[in-house]
Amino acid sequence: MDSVVSDAALGVAPLLGSSEPDEDLKSWQTDRTRAPIATKIVVAGGFGVGKTTLVTAVSEITPLQTEALMTEASEETDDLTATPGKLTTTVAMDFGRITLDDDLVLYLFGTPGQQRFWFMWDDLVRGAIGAVVLADTRRLKDCFPALDYFESCGMPYVVAVNHFDGSERFEPEDVREALTIPAHIPVMIMDARRRISAIETLLALVGHALEETPE
């Protein structure tokens, strides 16, 4: 991927009326020896757990969404008991991007939650350094398929409990015990709607992935 550099760094005269340098430029954008490190992260979990919300909350670009209106045809397969106001669902993936620490760029890929779309997971996770598995304490069983998937393929992951309004709040260790999560796997309580909360979760995953695969 080509890094972005300023006209001044390339020796090109600036445009008329732009005599002052762009103060928003990152250090790697004016130094061709510091190309950004691009990293892929997967956001997975059950149906309606907040994957699209997380990607949308943190993305610095307009996120790519493949949302489709829910119809009566899915009534028998998609349980809306815990999310009665949900009108759309992801049918392919969500995609967003966020730049961290000047030269670290995270590309986020949100997976579809319904079982009928699981066949796409192998393609979506290819090349990722790790995954965020979102969980809803009102229906913890919905995140077991994602946990089993990343355990089986050996990909580093963290568990992030997305706290919904009106749901009971549990301590991370209670969730760990309920899901039988190994002690070395980070378990966090977060709010997918809050950008800072979602970023903290992503940072926890990056740190965990570095510990698991330091090379």
Which domains can be identified in the chain, with CATH numbers?
Answer: 35-212 (3.40.50.300)
Global pTM value: 0.72
DSSP assignment, residue 89? Answer: E
pLDDT digits (tens, 9 = 90+) for 189-207: 999 999 999 999 999 999 9
Whether 91 and 68 have beta carbons less than 8 Å apart is answered as yes
Residue 196 confidence (pLDDT) = 96
What number of other Cβ atoms are within 10 A of residue 139's Cβ?
Answer: 17
Q: Once rounded to an integer, what is the mean pLDDT over residues 37-45?
A: 92
pLDDT surpassing 80 at residue 108: yes
Region of 79 (left: φ > 0; alpha: ψ -120 to 50; beta: rest) is: beta
Residue 6 confidence (pLDDT) = 35
Q: Once rounded to an integer, what is the mean pLDDT over residues 117-127?
A: 79
Region of 13 (left: φ > 0; alpha: ψ -120 to 50; beta: rest) is: beta
Secondary element (H or E) of residue 52? helix 51-58
DSSP assignment, residue 136? Answer: -
pLDDT surpassing 70 at residue 48: yes
